[in-house]
Structure 1
Amino acid sequence: ERRFHFELHDKKDIFELTLLGGQIAEKKPLRGIRRFEEAIETGFFDDLGVRRLRDTQRAVFGSHSNSIPVKDRRTLHHLGLKPLILIDTNVLINALKDDLLREISSDQYGSLDWTVERSFHMMLLRRSKSDVFVTIPPSAIGEFKHRTKTPDSVLKLFEGVYINHQEWNKIVTPAFLKERVKIILNSFNTWNQSIEVANRNDVELEEFLLKHEMIFEMVDQYKRARSNSAPIRTELNGKEIYPESGDIEIMQDAAGLAKLPLQEIGCILVATRDSDFRLVSRALEERYGFGVISDAQQLNSRI
């Protein structure tokens, strides 16, 4: 590696760099691939040089990808890999609400308020067409279906939003709602594998949750203050302040996927507006190797 750094910072010989990087990768694949990343990021080389470095890096990665878990690929930005984004229930609900507002609106635009929530799910859908893979964890699917069983249950989700009840009752029938729920679920599923490839039982989360007791206590107080009924929480060590079981399962799914050498995947992200994820996002990434995104800006910064 000393020779590699000498060539990189002094001679800048592309041929020697590709040769040395390949030799490093033979013994330590990830280190070799990272050396190519370092060389590309220096800005020392013209487009042709960068292309040669990138092509060699990708060839080396292709030979060793089965031994490199996704969590170790997060800083490798030149391999042409895509993020795999797990969609939480709150994003699905915002997407459904936006969809239904457009359906019952006379101008087909629904709410004209360009909120953070609205821009987030719309950007996720846009990016999912080419830049990222999206999928929905089983627990999020279950909760989404449960909360959208009937038009009346969905109507309660529009707190603080004006709804023309005459139009709602005319358009949002049980059959119509069922079809729109199905469309939303299909829209956020572009990954051709099942999340079940990750084994939740291999992810130990209780110690992590207990370590961040003060944060979850604050989140719990916030959720109780905002809710008319007591929020569903998980009890650990006698304190019922931790994320509900569905959110814990999503954390385990994401952590389990990050441990696998998945094809085409460069990082695992959870798309959510939930403070149970957001306030410990950095700790989750450091400990388990998956990130958390909660708005369009954070999404775009990861691509």
Structure 2
Amino acid sequence: MTVGPASDEDVRRWTASVGLDGLVDLHVHFLPKSVMDKVWAYFDRATEHYGTEWPVFYRTEEKERLETLRSLGVKRFAPLVYPHKPGMAEWLNSWAGDFADQVPDAVRTGTFFPEPSAASYVDAALRAGARCFKAHVQIGAYDPRDEQLAPVWGALADAGVPVVVHCGHGPLRGNFTGLQVFGEVLAKHPDLTAVLAHSAMPEFTAAFELMERYPRVHIDTTMVGVPFVAKMAPLPPDWTARLAGVADRVVLGTDFPNIPYSYATQLQAIAGWAADERLGEPFLRAVLHDTPAGLL
């Protein structure tokens, strides 16, 4: 089994060594500059929020961030957007559409918030070709079971379009975080193609239980298993054994550019899991390319 890339400069070589000509990343963030600046300002105060520093590794201009992804061999990515208040999601969807029109390797994405217009603007985004949505229960501080979102979850389920849902308790618990809450959404919309962001960190075991119950639920690798989060959210001892049972429903996600370490660090973690003989290079090819490409 090949080890992971030694550095970002080594990613392309390593990717080719496992039989891939590029990566597909389902969890990347590009946002309007005013919003991204506020996100970065929040991370500047990470010690207050998380009790640890969070230096954004790829804190560069948008053009350079795009060039960085391409230099890493990322062929396709989902630039996820998310609102933190009402009246913001429709504007973000418009921005994301314009971004995808200008960046051919980016898929068109969308988002939503529990508000009267949610069903209408999600329908408009789907009609415009959105191929991935983001729901951030923690930052949005909303209840995903809100009745205003029922038609949204239903429309996404009917369309078969994936929605990346940050609903786990990590890194900070919210009033409506936790898989018990989001599990109620899935009970009403069992055909929803939901991607549990960060593998629902730290509720890894509960995430696998939902995957057993709902065959269209996936997990992404975002920040999972990297040294930075090892103390906050250690992986369970049976992590790779459980992965083997859902190997075709795990997708690459990184949180680029807002991570406090290199892109290669995430790939090293994934390569470490693949060292389990039940996973191996077929798992790597599925996670890093085939499964996310299929969803998008």
Normalising by the residue count of structure 2, what TM-score does the alignment of the two structures yield?
0.31
The structure number with the bigger radius of gyration is 1
Normalising by the residue count of structure 1, what TM-score does the alignment of the two structures yield?
0.30
Q: Which has the higher helix share?
A: 1
